[in-house]
């Protein structure tokens, strides 16, 4: 029987099984975030004496405060002193009251300006794995449209995409009903869209890769996660005709369709970069459409950068990206190493229960590459699909055997290397 949809590891079963675990552990998530956020390095102060203060007087003052560990800062322009952890504020205030002191302050942590302030970003291990924090200083996807050809996109969650429909989420297309729109009733497309471009730096929820790009929803799969080949073909062609720069296809099947390949080639010839999931069967065969020549086929790796046991691989594989494994906690954050994004489950016919879900699969790996492709396109609008593919391949982190190999392709997508190419 034809397999139509390459979804998260068990798109229906996994999401529902993880649902209760994530909700039950919501207080644990808060404690993880709280315990991981210290604004300064414990037990250190930066102290600067006024120019008129002699070295001997400075040493005497340190002794009076019971400080013995003193190191010179760069060019001795200030000093780094060690104090008891937990007394940083008290000691800084005490030093600051002395007439000899120009300033005394904790040794604060600083981050890149582009590091997101989203509440759950510290749990998105997948973004540092592909060097997203550095990449965001170079590109955030502005001016690019990414089509999510999937179950549609629901823009009405708590995190949203800008201000919802009409802002960064465009009015898309429902290839099933041949109407404008494309509201997701299943969650898969919304999760995929979140990885590509979830609203970022809004202080809540999770971050997305190309968070200034436009999202074009194209609904080709129903609420069961399946769809006809004709729906997918029509959706790809519609997206190519309606402004898509990048198309993500987190779906697939084992039968080679010439009509589907024609649709992919049509998009390619119109200058659209097409990215697709390699499949979740753990086989040495990449499924279609990912296996087509003009698709970038993406497999999935875990936190430790090894190929997951479910990811397909083979001669058509181009790249790998984080797909995760909820049965492992390699990063030790207390949660399974799935990909964390905002999604929903159905509550009644028209209701949606929103939360943040850990999901896995090559369906989640593919949008990582699509999002990075959008960052490249934003930085180089003149690049077509061949140039974008070349950048992704040449800048990927080589894994496995040196050079291209059938398990990792050209390697793990590297967002910062790609936008700096």
Q: Is residue 195 within 8 Å of 208, Cβ to Cβ?
A: yes
* Burial of residue 85, with CB atoms counted within 10 A of its CB: 0-12 exposed, 13-18 middle, 19 or more buried: exposed
| Residues designated as active site | 150, 188, 363
Start-to-end Cα distance in the chain: 43
Q: Show the tokens assigned to 33.
A: 């975030």
Q: How far is residue 396's CA from residue 47's CA, in Å, rounded to a whole number?
A: 43
CA distances from 178 to 50, 154, 175, 191, 261 (A): 74, 18, 5, 23, 21
* Burial of residue 8, with CB atoms counted within 10 A of its CB: 0-12 exposed, 13-18 middle, 19 or more buried: buried
Number of residues written out for the chain = 421
Q: How far is residue 61's CA from residue 76's CA, in Å, rounded to a whole number?
A: 17
Is the alpha carbon torsion for 160, 163, 169, 172 positive or negative?
Answer: positive
């Amino acid at each position: 029987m034809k397999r139509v949809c390459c979804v998260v590891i068990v798109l229906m079963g996994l999401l529902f099984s993880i649902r209760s675990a994530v909700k039950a552990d919501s207080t644990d998530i808060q404690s993880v975030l709280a315990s991981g956020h210290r604004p300064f390095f414990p037990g250190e102060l930066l102290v600067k004496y006024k120019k008129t203060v002699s070295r001997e007087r400075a040493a005497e003052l340190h002794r009076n405060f019971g400080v013995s560990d003193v190191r010179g800062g760069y060019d001795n322009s200030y000093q780094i002193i060690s104090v008891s952890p937990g007394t940083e504020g008290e000691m800084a205030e005490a030093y600051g009251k002395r007439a000899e002191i120009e300033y005394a302050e904790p040794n604060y942590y600083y981050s890149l300006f582009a590091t997101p302030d989203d509440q759950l970003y510290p749990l998105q291990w997948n973004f540092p794995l592909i060097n997203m924090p550095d990449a965001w200083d170079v590109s955030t996807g502005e001016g690019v449209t990414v089509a999510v050809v999937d179950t549609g996109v629901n823009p009405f969650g708590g995190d949203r995409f800008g201000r919802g429909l009409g802002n960064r989420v465009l009015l898309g297309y429902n290839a099933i009903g041949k109407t404008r729109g494309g509201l997701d009733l299943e969650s898969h497309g919304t999760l995929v869209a979140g990885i590509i471009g979830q609203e970022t730096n809004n202080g809540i929820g999770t971050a997305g890769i190309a968070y200034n790009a436009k999202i074009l929803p194209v609904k080709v799969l129903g609420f069961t996660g399946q769809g006809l080949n004709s729906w997918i073909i029509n959706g790809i062609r519609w997206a190519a005709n309606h402004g898509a720069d990048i198309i993500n296809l987190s779906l697939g099947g084992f039968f080679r369709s010439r009509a589907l390949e024609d649709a992919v080639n049509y998009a390619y010839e119109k200058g659209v970069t097409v990215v697709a999931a390699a499949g979740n069967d753990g086989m040495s065969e990449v499924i279609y459409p990912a296996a087509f020549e003009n698709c970038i086929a993406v497999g999935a790796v875990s936190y430790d950068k090894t190929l997951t046991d479910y990811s397909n691989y083979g001669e058509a594989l181009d790249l790998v990206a984080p797909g995760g494994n909820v049965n492992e906690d390699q990063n030790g954050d207390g949660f399974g190493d799935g990909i964390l994004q905002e999604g929903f489950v159905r509550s009644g016919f028209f209701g949606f229960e929103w939360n943040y879900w850990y999901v896995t699969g090559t369906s989640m790996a593919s949008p990582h590459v699509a999002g990075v492709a959008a960052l490249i396109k934003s930085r180089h609008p003149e690049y077509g699909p061949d140039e974008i593919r070349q950048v992704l391949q040449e800048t990927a982190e080589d894994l496995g055997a040196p050079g291209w190999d059938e398990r990792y392709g050209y390697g793990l997508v590297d967002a910062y290397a790609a936008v700096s190419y």
